[in-house]
Amino acid sequence: EVQLVESGGGLVQPGGSLRLSCAASGITVDNSAMHWVRQAPGKALEWVSGINWSGSNRGYGDSVKGRFTISRDSAKNSLYLQMNSLRPEDTALYYCASGEAADSWGQGTLVVVSS
Partner 1 sequence: QSVLTQPPSASGTPGQRLTISCSGSGSNIGTNSVNWYQQLPGTAPRLLFYSYNQRPSGVPDRFSGSQSGTSASLAIRGLQSEDEADYFCAAWDDSRNGFVFGTGTTVTVL
Q: Determine contact, residues 90/115, Cβ cutoff 8 Å.
A: no
Whose Cβ is closer to partner 1: residue 35's or residue 72's? 35
Name the residues that contact partner 1, by CB under 8 A. 35, 37, 44-47, 49-50, 57, 59-63, 95, 101-108
Whose Cβ is closer to partner 1: residue 4's or residue 18's? 4
Nearest distance, CB of residue 75 and partner 1, angstroms: 26
Whose Cβ is closer to partner 1: residue 53's or residue 105's? 105
